[in-house]
Amino acid sequence: MTDDQIQKLIMKELKRKDVTYYDMVGMPGHGVDPNLRQAHAALREGNQSNRFTTFFGSDRMKELLCVGKYSPYESTLTLKISFQDLFRFWWNRCVEKELVVDDVLEDIYEYVRNLMTPPTNYPKKTKWR
């Protein structure tokens, strides 16, 4: 999937599940006022409940993009978008690369350093010629 297709799919899921901005920032199980301009009417009629059942943004995205019914207790969750496509979308649209480069280089340095670590069974006394 392209980045544009991923964004369209996310927006389509938000619209299909009737998610509002207030669902995105509100707490699960709490009332959401979908139309602040008619606040008095909303108070009389009662607010809608938040569409999400989870607190964290990552869990809410899983809830939004999962195939089938979302279960927070399921460890292997199938999403409508592959991990590679999600990662590319995140990298292209969500990350300030200048802020991440030091972390990436530090992780690469640690990886290479660990590759260079001598084995633990290396002889202590070795005659070098």
DSSP 8-state symbol, 46: -
Note the pTM of the prediction, 2 decimals: 0.66
Task: Check residue 43 and give its pLDDT.
Answer: 47
How far is residue 52's CA from residue 39's CA, in Å, rounded to a whole number? 22
Task: Check residue 41 and give its pLDDT.
Answer: 54
Q: What is the pLDDT of residues 19-71, one digit of tens each?
A: 888 878 777 766 655 555 554 554 445 566 777 777 788 888 888 899 988 88
Q: What is the pLDDT of residues 76-101, one digit of tens each?
A: 889 999 999 999 999 999 999 999 99
Task: Check residue 87 and give its pLDDT.
Answer: 95
Task: Check residue 70 and give its pLDDT.
Answer: 84
How far is residue 1's CA from residue 85's CA, in Å, rounded to a whole number? 6
Q: 98 is written with which tokens? A: 């200048």
DSSP 8-state symbol, 47: P
Q: What is the pLDDT of residues 107-128, one digit of tens each?
A: 999 999 999 988 877 666 666 6
Q: Which residue has the higher pLDDT, 39 or 11?
A: 11
The domain locations on the chain are 1-80, 82-117
